């Protein structure tokens, strides 16, 4: 497998999951602004969406959409705990969380990034921040009395939530009203696979 990524972007989540799963993979850094690959070729020839994460599969073809990519990876290592078995209620709970993280948190944070300053009005920005605060309060509540989002086992939903939370300093979003989110982010950051992921993306 080959993961197309941009350091610190939402591709961090499948990158973490690949390392947690212990599977072999290659990394390809994408210049998202120019939509080019190392060497200068057009990234859109690989993925017409021009977005990371993109996973090139061993059997050929690509898989896109981070919330689906992480399930594909985790299903390759049954028993890793990264995702409950398909068809179980526990699986739907993880999917419910990932949909919430993707639709409400990931996309909800986008208007707050500095690169959006010219296209997002102050009113829109203030509204987006208010909505995001409310959604983060829900995630904070979900973590009450738990180490990870579904309990004591690290799943793909935790990798995605951690990725989105890692953007909060960059968008000047104060997490101090959410102590469970802060301790969760620290707990995930301390995992050896997560540290290895950050080290690889810093190279
Ligand atoms: N729906 C996609 C969204 C992925 C996404 O937003 N990727 C961003 C980086 S975090 C990106 O590639 N942005 C460049 C672009 O959209 O042109 C997913 O969930 O994987």
Task: Give per-residue pLDDT as tens, 164-181.
Answer: 999 999 999 999 999 999
Q: Tell the burial category of 117 from Cβ atoms under 10 Å away from its Cβ (0-12, 13-18, 19+).
A: exposed
Percentage of the chain surpassing pLDDT 90? 94
3-state secondary structure of 43: helix
Q: Which of 5, 7, 10, 163 to mutate to test the pocket of ligand 1 (most atoms within 8 A of CB)?
A: 10
Percentage of the chain surpassing pLDDT 70? 100
160 Cβ contact list (under 8 Å, min separation 6): 10, 13, 66, 67, 70, 98, 101, 102, 106
Nearest-angstrom CA–CA distance, 132 and 148: 20
Assign domain 2-80+193-202 one CATH number from 3.40.50.10860, 3.30.565.10, 3.40.30.10, 2.120.10.80.
3.40.30.10
- CATH fold of 89-191 reads Glutathione S-transferase Yfyf (Class Pi); Chain A, domain 2 (1.20.1050)
- For the chain, what are the domain ranges? 2-80+193-202, 89-191
Q: pLDDT grade, residue 73 (50/70/90)?
A: very high
The pLDDT value given to residue 165: 98
* DSSP characters over 60-124: SSEEE-HHHHHHHHHHTSTTSSSSPPTTSHHHHHHHHHHHHIIIIIIHHHGGGSGGGTTTS-HHH
pTM over cut 0.85: yes
pLDDT tops 90 at residue 115: no
The answer, yes or no, to whether any atom of ligand 1 lies below 6 A from the CB of 110, is: no
Are 133 and 140 in contact by the 8 Å Cβ rule? The answer is: no
The answer, yes or no, to whether any atom of ligand 1 lies below 6 A from the CB of 65, is: yes
Q: Which of 7, 12, 42, 52 to mutate to test the pocket of ligand 1 (most atoms within 8 A of CB)?
A: 52
pLDDT tops 90 at residue 194: yes
The answer, yes or no, to whether any atom of ligand 1 lies below 6 A from the CB of 48, is: no
């Amino acid at each position: 497998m080959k993961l197309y990524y941009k350091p610190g972007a939402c591709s961090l989540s499948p990158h973490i999951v690949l390392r947690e799963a212990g599977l072999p993979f290659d990394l390809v850094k994408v210049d998202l602004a120019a939509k080019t690959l190392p060497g200068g070729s057009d990234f859109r020839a690989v993925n017409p969406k021009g977005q990371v994460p993109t996973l090139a599969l061993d059997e050929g073809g690509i898989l896109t959409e981070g919330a689906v990519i992480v399930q594909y990876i985790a299903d390759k290592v049954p028993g890793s705990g990264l995702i409950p078995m398909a068809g179980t209620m526990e699986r739907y709970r993880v999917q419910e969380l990932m949909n919430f993280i993707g639709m409400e948190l990931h996309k909800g944070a986008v208007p707050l990034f500095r690169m959006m300053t010219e296209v997002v009005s102050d009113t829109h920005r203030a509204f987006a921040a208010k909505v995001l605060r409310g959604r983060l309060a829900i995630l904070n509540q979900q973590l009450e009395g738990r180490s990870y989002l579904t309990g004591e086992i690290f799943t793909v939903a935790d990798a995605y939530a951690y990725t989105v939370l890692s953007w909060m300093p960059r968008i000047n979003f104060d997490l101090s009203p959410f102590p469970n989110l802060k301790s969760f982010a620290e707990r995930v950051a301390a995992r050896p696979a997560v540290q290895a992921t950050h080290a690889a993306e810093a190279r």
